[in-house]
Amino acid sequence: MTRSSLRPVLTRLLVLTQIVVLAAGCGKKEEDYAATVNKAPITKNELKAEMDRIKQRFYNTSPMSDQQASQMESEILDIMIGGELLYQASQKAGIQVPDQEVKEQMAKSKAQFPDTDKFKNTFTEQDIRKKIATEKFITKEFADTTNITDEQTHKYYETNLADFTRPEQVLVSNILIKVKKDASKEEKAKAMDKLKGLQKELSKGGDFTELAKKHSEDGNASAGGMMGFVLRGQTEKPFEEAVFSLEPEKTAIVETQVGYQLVRATDKKETMVVPYEDVAEKLRNFLKQQEIQKKIDTFIKEQRNKAAIDVRLKPAQAPADAKASPAADNKQPAAGDKAPH
């Protein structure tokens, strides 16, 4: 997940999919507001909760700089504003959420939280009610009115054929003897001689799996040296040339960056284009989600132009043009995604 692709993902997470959790704002002080949307508040705590959730999901292994965090905060707030506009539109459209439906959703959400207190601090019935109302509105106004034709799926498939092409691949096992790049000629010769000896054992009926378990210094030694299918273009050139030139069950010794490797190829699959019929339904769903998101983006942009929006973050943190910019800059969240195949 690259940071440049964060906005599309956030849009789907916060608006289109499961978590449109926006609090009612009752009894909260104005100094606690991050923004108001037609006088409905989005609090700093709600913004922080979304920030923490996204950080945990996408940035738990790499820390963010202050600038990146500030930018992400602005983007998340922008998207939350879009979510509030969708909820308000659902109320104008007369979307009703029965109490029983709220209770059922509360029970499902609660099951995901082993800590009851944490659940209570995260969700309220009003949060769940707003989430359901927003989803109902999205379904009624955008999803139910979106149809993808066979002509559209065929056109996308033919235009993006490379995305549906499976590259040549070979099933590889290896035995690695590690050798440092600055190793002496004697050390390199020793490693090479050892692999030649193992290769000789194999020619006499030796078992590659057992030899790998006993001699390989690679992480897959316990698995008998099994690497799985290797795609062309996936490994360093000398290794690739060796394994793709091998006949089934034959072996070769190749020098790589980590040392010398005895490699064996046991199966090979040629380049293949996945048939349209195998991906048609997934492709239809993929294109439908793209189209739905486009409609949502356009709708939010129109609503923002009519709404009274007051962003109260510090100037350095606020979006460049909070009132005029659409919740997702009218971007198409799935435009950079790969179609399923």
Residues of the chain with CATH 3.10.50.40: 166-270
- The pLDDT score that the predictor gives to residue 14 is 46
- CB 78 within 8 Å of CB 327: yes
Helix (H, G, I), strand (E, B) or coil at 230: strand
Q: Dump pLDDT digits (tens) for 111-161.
A: 777 666 666 656 688 888 999 999 999 999 999 999 999 999 999 999 999
- Find out whether 87 and 134 touch, Cβ atoms under 8 Å: yes
Dist CA 8 CA 191 (whole Å): 50
> Which pLDDT score is estimated for 323?
41
Q: Within the chain, which residue ranges are assigned CATH 1.10.4030.10? A: 3-149+278-311
Q: Is residue 53 very low, low, confident or very high in pLDDT (cuts 50, 70, 90)? A: confident
7-20 burial, b at 16+ Cβ within 10 Å, e below that, comes to bbbbbbbbbbeeeb
Q: Which fold is adopted by the domain 3-149+278-311?
A: Triger factor/SurA peptide-binding fold (1.10.4030)
Give the pLDDT score at 119.
60
pLDDT for 339: 67
**11 vs 13: CA distance, rounded Å:** 6
pLDDT at 326: 35
CATH architecture under which domain 166-270 falls = Roll (3.10)
Indicate the pLDDT class of residue 62, thresholds 50, 70 and 90: low
How many C-beta neighbours within 10 Å does residue 230 have? Answer: 20
